[in-house]
Structure 1
Amino acid sequence: MSAMMALAPVRITGLRAAAAAAASSRRAVKIGAAAATARLGKTASLATVSSLGIDKATGITKPSTVHHNLPYPQVFEHETKNKEGESTANGTFCVSTGQFTGRSPKDKYFVQQAPSDKTLDWGKINVGVAPKVFENIYNKAVKHYNDNVDSMYVFDGYCGTSPKSRKNVRIITELAWQHHFAKNMFIRPETEAETAGFKPDFTIINACKVVNDDYKELGLNSEVAVVFNVEERKAVITGTWYGGEMKKGIFSMMNYWLPLDGVMAMHCSANKGKNGDTALFFGLSGTGKTTLSADPERYLIGDDEHGWDDDGIFNFEGGCYAKTINLSHENEPEIYDAIKRDALLENVVIKDNGEPDYTDVSKTENTRVSYPIYHIDNYEPSGMGGHPNSVIFLTCDAFGILPPVSRLSAGQAMYHFLSGYTAKVAGTERGVTEPTPNFSAGFGAAFLTLHPTMYADLLQKKLAKHGTQCYLINTGWTGGGYGVGKRMSIKATRACVDAVLDGSIGKTTFTPDPVFGFEVPAELPGVPAKVLNPREAWSDKKGYDATRTKLAGMFKDNFTKFVKPGVTDYTSYGPK
């Protein structure tokens, strides 16, 4: 790594703050006034690079100013002063992420070295690079900060609401809006004492302005590189400005650490009812995790990433990251109302009157907003819940074959968890312009650092121990495939979810699907009978039968990779 350079004085322009707008008075009573009211920034204090440990830990020594855990008002001032984006009519800041408006999964790498090389699941998702490649890219990032950056931003906080399993994370960025993103998405320290002598378990250096022109010589896919060094507990991001790389990078590491300790790591949202019943929503981006978990009748635990330990469910994050394409108050009021001061819009077109235009996809269909979780009025302040009563697998079926809701046996639940069938939604990843059938183990294979069966084995034990019932809900197409049928209405999907959560779905009769085997309800309030039975929604019944056979074959072909010696074989629970 780069040799340590002479220490430079560092001025810290902000101290710990957790700007929390008041939730409802009912919730404020529960969590206490201190957490329900906005905390203001305090007077700046002086420090040195060594006082934060940045110099010895990273080699970054030259930036003369470090903005450390800025309060939200100061973050806004920096974004505005730096001209990093534009403010909307209600004070929400909006940025453009440039060429990259989604993750770059083919540019993600892990350093191949002992001992993690024995546990990482190497392949197309977890691509290995030699230590010297990481050193090359890392040194470029450090040199960029030392040669070109006078003022940088450091976020110190947590990943994981459970004190037992949380990790200390440090995010170093050059841009104020990326500091804003980290502040929104990770768990913000409440007091100065929490970060006194802060020791990060993992550090991400975001050097988005660094481009790897020598990527071919390094054996990389492109000028972009997101590289993780498990042993050194560091990652470096170069060539892409997309904020999601930081969020998903830490999620990938949680997917590595927790299962090795017997804790389930999950790509899912979670909420709980007024009686304390907890539900999980698995699904890839665009399948409805954020929308369906933001239920006004339930308390939101989190919208994307969770763990499941012996005490129950816990959120990894301190915020939400929602898609905003075609967002409206009528269909998604909780998310719509969460977009206010301290939220951060990405790649959303702003109209002349300062209002966001969520229907304009001229930049990308993957328009996004991040916001602190307390922007949802009925959030769960602890970020935790009990063992789940229900688990819902969300799928976006581009073929229009799967019913809007079906009940899974224990074996079928494991089959569909490992299959992770859905459709990639336009704009979520580079090069995807329309829904494309996709199988993604655990409904999040892109973030699984261990073999998928390790997560399946953990989930199977949890479900059996706590008697949790699983359901498959299709938020995709009905009456035909993409281009012929139409997308399931949010209202119909909500009706299915409500029936699962309130238990009323158990009062109806079920019929096994002749091919997939899962049980389909005969009737549900708010869902037309011909929608519940997808074959009846098709005008071309023979076309439906042929397409169902085709989809079943895709399931079978995909599942062969999970059949090998020493691994539980769930093939018999799949389609016939």
Structure 2
Amino acid sequence: MKQTGTQSDHSRLEGLDPAGTGRVFWNLGTAALCERAVARGEARLSDSGALVVTTAQSGHEIRLALVDDEPGESGETSAQTSPDAAAPNRAGALTRPHFEALKADLLAYVGRRTLFGQDLCVEAGAGRRLSLRILSDQAWHALFIRHLLRPCAVAEGGETAPRFTVLCAPGFRPTPETHGVAAEGTLALDLANGLALIAGTARTEAIRAALAQLLDGPLTDAGVLRLEGAAATAPTGNVVLFLGAAGAGKSALAAALAKGQTGDSAPSHLADGALGWGEDGLIALENAAYARPADLAQPEHAAPGFGAVLENIALDPASRTPDLAEAANTDVSRVILAQPSTKSAQEAIFAPPAHLFLLVQDASGTLPAIARLTPAQALGSCLAGMDTVPVLAERHAARLHHLLTQHAPQGWLVNTGWIGGAAGVGQRVALEASRRLVDAAQAGELASGVWRTDPHFGFDVPAALEGVDPRLLDPAKAWPNRVDHTVAARRLAGQFAGRLARIEAALSQEAQGAQTGMVLAAE
């Protein structure tokens, strides 16, 4: 679209043919979208100018349905997203007639409403961009996605149809009999035609899951591995990649590293959220900070200023101050902070990572606060999930193995969970300790120290680091009874080995040669 802020009828929805005479506002800016969201009753305004929206009761469970023109006997098909995305790892199959019925009825529904459209792009490597169109009957959705992705520059001489389209109508309730999907929290995808339909939920996770599904195949074709994580350029010049399950601390540790732990200066080079890892290095697929309040390095200083989106975060009724501390304990709370509009596409590109930190929240209390991983151990931990949550789908194993071999980052396991006992009994690893260990690891401070091999998991653990409680590096010393620690550690190691054994058959021949080589303690 050449102009921004224009309105039109629905005839400009390429590939869609809605009924009615509704309007579409195209590519409105931040101020206009904030104004409309508040005026339409979609959001409230905080004391800093952030929009506060409530979606917690809107389709709490997001159900994924993929169009399958030739469904198998199981009636299910594998989801194409990463395990850390909002959608489940298994997706229900949706017949073509059901999807077409859903599309027709959803379009008839939005045809009587005002829509807000944004034309955006995702970087897929040097000189490669994927174009998307996001449409919703919620103005704040347009603001959220405008923060998350980059505006698409229109080619000289005309408009270009988007490669992918997402249509979101939270108020529409499908019926299983007619549409083949649940009434609430439905994400239906026609990957063959690049179309995602979202109904019965306003949660931003549904839109991000739609993007993950639509982009996964094209990114893979471009040689780019899609990940959920955070990347930062440290003061040493090292590019550091953080991976792990939601809530493990990726955002906080990456932000602290990028700031040089000064606590005041703005991060020099930071990406948080969806990342791509390709032959040339890392790519920030998203242009905004999308984080749980608990993952922010300093929630009270997160500066959710004008235009930021606060999802499911309470406001003080008098001062209109958001309660980020309380929201830190809520799974459905999100903070979306826009990046400066001057940030160039080149700033989305990082060099290959020199260090790969896999963050786990060990609920057993048996893992050390940090350990050094071989490439094989790093691959196994990504696929099997040391804390039961894998950070990568099995089908991407060969690609990850190739990137680990090509770029040779030093792998690390960081336990941000518990030490000295299981969750509820042991002590949580303090964020300050994790920061200190991560900084020492990437700066080379640990390299010259003494190391020991963990008898249960087979990875190397530093014996000591100045300023760090020794018990964090040898958890057995933190347990009241060393025998209890041994029993718990062996149980976790056995579970991990069992998950690796179950996925071994699914790995390509190349990846099968990269098993972890985990050493279990002798009986």
TM-score bin (small chain): 0.7 to 0.9
Closer/same/farther in 2, CA of residues 74 and 46 from structure 1, 3 Å limit: closer
Looking at structure 2, the residues matched to 551 and 536 of structure 1 have their Cα atoms a distance apart, in angstroms, of: 18
Identify the range of structure 1 (460-469 vs 71-80) with the bigger mean alpha-carbon deviation: 460-469
**How many Å apart are 1:175 and its aligned residue?**
0.6
Residues 101 and 366 of structure 1 are in contact (CA less than 8 Å); yes or no, is this contact kept in structure 2?
Answer: no
Alignment-derived partner of residue 411 in structure 2: 470
Alignment partner of 1:356: what SS?
Answer: coil
Report what 1:385 is aligned to: 350
The reply on whether 1:70 has 2:28 as its aligned counterpart is: yes
Contact 2:293 2:327 (8 Å CA) reproduced: no
Deviation at 1:63, TM superposition (A): 4.5
Cα distance in structure 1, aligned partners of 2:344 and 2:271: 8
Q: Is the 8 A contact 2:20 2:108 kept in 1?
A: no
Q: CA deviation at 1:253?
A: 2.6
Match of 1:573 in 2: 517
Q: Are residue 317 (structure 1) and residue 277 (structure 2) matched?
A: no
Aligned to 1:211: 173
Native 8 Å contact 2:77 2:91 kept in 1: no
SS where residue 286 of structure 1 aligns?
Answer: coil
- Are residues 249 and 45 of structure 1, via their aligned partners in 2, closer, same or farther at CA, if it must alter by over 3 Å? closer
Task: For residue 362 of structure 1, report the CA deviation from its aligned partner.
Answer: 11
- Quote the offset at 1:159 in angstroms: 1.9
Q: Deviations over 1:376-414 (max 9, x none)?
A: x99996111111111111111111111111000111111
What letter is aligned with 2:20?
A: K
Q: How many Å separate the matches in 2 of 1:490 and 1:90?
A: 27
Give the Cα–Cα distance (whole angstroms) in 1 for the partners of residues 515 and 167 of structure 2. Answer: 43
Equivalent of 1:411 in 365, 376, 400: 376
Give yes or no for the alignment of 1:359 onto 2:325.
yes
- Report the number of matched residues: 499
Aligned 1:465-544 pairs, distance under 5 A: 465-544=406-485
Seen in structure 2, the aligned counterparts of structure 1 residues 259 and 526 have a Cα distance that, compared at 3 Å, is farther
The sequence identity of aligned pairs, in percent, is: 24
1:89 and 1:145 map into 2 onto residues whose CA distance is: 33
Task: Say if 2:22 and 2:110, in contact at 8 Å, map to a contact too.
Answer: no
For residue 135 of structure 1, give the secondary structure of its aligned residue in structure 2: helix
Asked if 1:226 corresponds to 2:167, the answer is no
Is the alpha carbon distance of 1:520 and 1:325 closer, same or farther for their aligned partners in structure 2, counting shifts above 3 Å? Answer: closer
Contact residue 311 and residue 334 of structure 2 kept, 8 A: yes
Deviation at 1:558, TM superposition (A): 1.7
Of 331, 335, 354, the match for 1:369:
335
Moved more, 88-97 or 361-370: 361-370
CA deviation after TM superposition for structure 1 residue 303, in Å = 0.6
Q: Please give the secondary structure, in 2, of the residue aligned with 1:228.
A: strand
User: Residues of 2 paired with 1:118 and 1:363: CA distance?
Assistant: 34
Deviation at 1:486, TM superposition (A): 2.2
Structure 1 residues 381 and 546, CA gap change in structure 2 (3 angstroms): same
Query: Quick one: structure 1 residues 517 and 194, their matched pair in 2 at CA, closer, same or farther if it must change by over 3 Å?
Result: farther
Taking structure 1 as the reference length, the TM-score comes to 0.80
Distance in 1 (CA, whole Å) between partners of 2:141 and 2:165 is 14
CA distance in 2, matches of 1:302, 1:363: 24
CA distance in 1, matches of 2:333, 2:89: 27
**Structure-2 change in CA distance of 1:172 and 1:246 (3 Å):** same
> Which residue number in structure 1 is paired with residue 273 of structure 2?
304
In 1, Cα distance between the equivalents of 2:344 and 2:420? 36
Instruction: Choose the corresponding residue for 1:177, options 128, 140, 146.
Output: 140
Distance change in 2, residues 1:572/1:458 (3 Å): closer
Q: Which AA in structure 1 matches 2:132?
A: V
**Offset at residue 516 of structure 1 (A):** 0.6
Return the offset for 1:143: 1.2
AA at the equivalent of 1:507: S
> Could you tell me how far 1:129 is from its partner in structure 2?
1.8
Cα separation, partners in 2 of 1:198 and 1:420, compared to 1, 3 Å: farther
Alignment match, 2:255: 294
Offset of 1:119 from its aligned partner?
Answer: 10
Distance across 2 between alignment mates of 1:462 and 1:211: 43
**Aligned-partner Cα distance in 1 for 2:151–2:448:** 43
2-structure distance, mates of 1:167, 1:210: 28
**By how many angstroms is 1:277 displaced?**
2.4
State the match for 1:266 in structure 2: 227
Contact 2:8 2:25 in 1 (8 A): no
Determine which of 262, 284, 289 is the counterpart of 2:245: 284
Alignment CA distance shift 1:380-1:275 (3 Å): farther
Change (3 A) 1:139 1:380: closer
Q: TM-score, normalised by structure 2?
A: 0.87
Change (3 A) 1:141 1:382: same
In the other structure, the counterpart of 1:245 is 206
Q: Distance in 1 between matches of 2:404 and 2:156?
A: 35
CA contact (8 A) 2:245 2:389 kept: no
Could you tell me which residue of structure 2 aligns to residue 168 of structure 1? 131
Distance 2:151 2:209 in 1: 17
Contact 1:15 1:192 in 2 (8 A): no
Deviations 1:144-196 (A, max 9, x none): 112x31x210011012263544311111000111111111111234x565895
C-alpha separation in 1, matches of 2:370 and 2:411 = 11
Verify the 8 A CA contact 1:325 1:367 in the aligned structure 2: no
Q: Which amino acid in structure 2 is aligned with residue 70 of structure 1?
A: L
Counterparts of 2:374 and 2:408 in 1: how far apart (Å)?
11
Partners in 1 of 2:216 and 2:478 — Cα distance?
40
1:430 is matched with which residue?
Answer: none
Shift of 1:15: 4.2
Tell me the amino acid that sits aligned with residue 278 of structure 1. Answer: V
The equivalent of 2:85 in structure 1 is none
Structure 1 residue matching 2:447: 3-state secondary structure: helix
Question: What SS does the corresponding residue of 1:281 show, helix, strand or coil?
Answer: strand
1-side partners of 2:303 and 2:19: how far apart?
A: 38
Which amino acid is 1:519 matched to? D
Residues 532 and 46 of structure 1: is their aligned pair in 2 closer, same or farther, counting only changes over 3 Å? closer
Gaps of 5+ in 1: 1-11, 17-43, 423-437, 446-451
Name the CA distance, whole Å, in 2 between partners of 1:46 and 1:97.
27
- Please, which of 198, 201, 205 is the counterpart of residue 163 of structure 2? 201
Q: Find the residue that maps to 2:477 and give its secondary structure.
A: helix
Which residue does 2:50 correspond to in 1? 92
Show the counterpart of 1:134. Answer: 99
Residue aligned with 1:74, SS? helix
Residue deviations 1:84-141 (CA, integer Å, cap 9, x gap): 1211111111010141485x35x11211137999996689523322112212222221
C-alpha distance in 2 between matches for 1:45 and 1:359: 39
TM-superposition CA deviations, 1:344-370 (whole Å, max 9, x none): 001101012111112335994431111
Q: State the match for 1:81 in structure 2.
A: 39
Residues 520, 326 of structure 1: alpha-carbon distance in 2 compared, 3 angstrom cutoff:
closer
8 Å CA contact retained: 1:300, 1:379: no
Q: Which amino acid aligns with 2:96?
A: P
Q: Which amino acid aligns with 1:224?
A: G
Q: Residues of 2 paired with 1:67 and 1:220: CA distance?
A: 29
Distance 1:381 1:220, change over 3 A: same
Asked whether the 8 Å contact 1:158–1:168 carries over to 2, the reply is: yes
Give me the whole-angstrom Cα distance separating, in 1, the residues matched to 2:156 and 2:90.
35
1:22-101 to 2 correspondences below 5 Å: 45=6, 49-50=10-11, 53-54=12-13, 56-60=14-18, 62-100=20-58
**Alpha carbons 1:184, 1:372 under 8 Å: kept:** yes
Q: Do the aligned residues in 2 keep the contact of 1:302 with 1:373 (CA within 8 Å)?
A: no
Task: Please give the alpha-carbon distance, in whole angstroms, between the structure 1 residues aligned to 2:367 and 2:38.
Answer: 47
Which residue of structure 2 aligns with residue 27 of structure 1? none
SS in structure 2 at match of 1:504: coil
Letter of the 2:133 partner, please give it.
R
Is the deviation greater in 191-200 or in 384-393?
A: 191-200
Task: Tell me if the contact between 2:365 and 2:417 (Cα under 8 Å) persists in the aligned partners.
Answer: yes
